[in-house]
Amino acid sequence: MSALGHSLVEDPLLRTAEQAEAIGTALLDCIGRTPLIRLTHVAPEFSNIEFYAKAEWFNPGGSVKDRAALAMIREGERSGTLRSGKTILDATSGNTGIAYAMIGAAKRYPVTLCLPESASHERKRILRAFGAELLFTPADEGSDGAIRLAQKLYAADPARYFYADQYSNPANWRAHYETTAAEIWEQTRGRITHFCAGLGTTGTFTGITRRLKELNPQIRCTSLQPDSGFHGLEGWKHMASAIVPRIWDPSLADDNLFIRTEDAYRTLKLLARVEGLLVSPSSAGAFAGCLAVAMQIPRGERAVIVTVFPDSADKYLSERFWEDEEESAT
């Protein structure tokens, strides 16, 4: 054999098909195990408190919703309610829809999504890129309008659809009970003292809180929601004026705080300019909640506050809230 021929045979980059199958990671296996980032500069006045956030944009679909969407789809397959020939259907404000669309493309399921017309331009483009069918509802109806449309479509043709129903599906919160909470506990080495998260489907807060309370009942868990039904925290629900998700259990929360959209927007810019983190309004709202919790902790008391940053800013960069007040006025 020539020297050239020998080098080709021995080249580690040239593998047999069987060997190649063992290289790399399947897309859906990349969901979960996201970093826990320590925020060190944004709140120096709280020298007794450590702040941490789960960076959920490290999921392949770009948000925390990858976890729940995968769990609901796998449960549908296990139960037989989702099988070849059926279309995944649900209402979404955007992120869960992106997760469905990504997973549906990977698993060869068509996806139909109902979402408010107010969903960000970037989210709509991402959903279309994955091949999802989009059905828009009036912006002023929020996620509730999308829910009603999804229910109507399913009732009219149940044989066609697998209606994931993220607001009622227990697999939603179980995904966080089994994965996100376990990761937080491990990454903080069990030192977590407080947990905060925003309420949308309520799956993230419900699942994480249930598991953390089992691991340590002394952990204080605070749910966060917008301070009114008209707000700019996409994905969050103002429970008093919205359709309350069936998976929500208000008894889980030790405290409930209301977050102003304006405070979230200010925190969003602060995180970008002080921590170098470009996050979404809902992520910034979650950290605004952490700061509110920190203010209630006595100065001499040590604390470890953890929250979830559902996604980054990449789906919101066209929004006007990034502009300074002086720029907006021109």
Residues with active-site annotation: 65, 282
Sequence-separated contacts (24+) of 270-275 with Cβ below 8 Å = 270/42, 271/39, 271/42, 272/313, 274/41, 274/42, 275/39, 275/40, 275/41, 275/42
Tell me the two tokens of residue 307. Answer: 């929250």
Tokens 């729940």 sit on residue: 68
Q: b/e string for 159-173 if b means 16 or more Cβ within 10 A? A: eebbbbbbbebbbbb
Tell me the two tokens of residue 316. Answer: 């919101």
Q: How far apart are CA 330 and CA 326, in angstroms?
A: 7
What's the start-to-end Cα distance of the chain, in Å? 74
Q: How far apart are CA 330 and CA 312, in angstroms?
A: 28
Helix (H) or strand (E) holding 201: none
Cα–Cα distances in angstroms (integers) from residue 254 to residues 223, 224, 294, in the given order: 8, 11, 15
Q: What residues have CB less than 8 Å from 257, skipping those under 6 apart?
A: 196, 222, 223, 224, 225, 289, 292, 293
308 in Cβ contact with 219 (< 8 Å): no
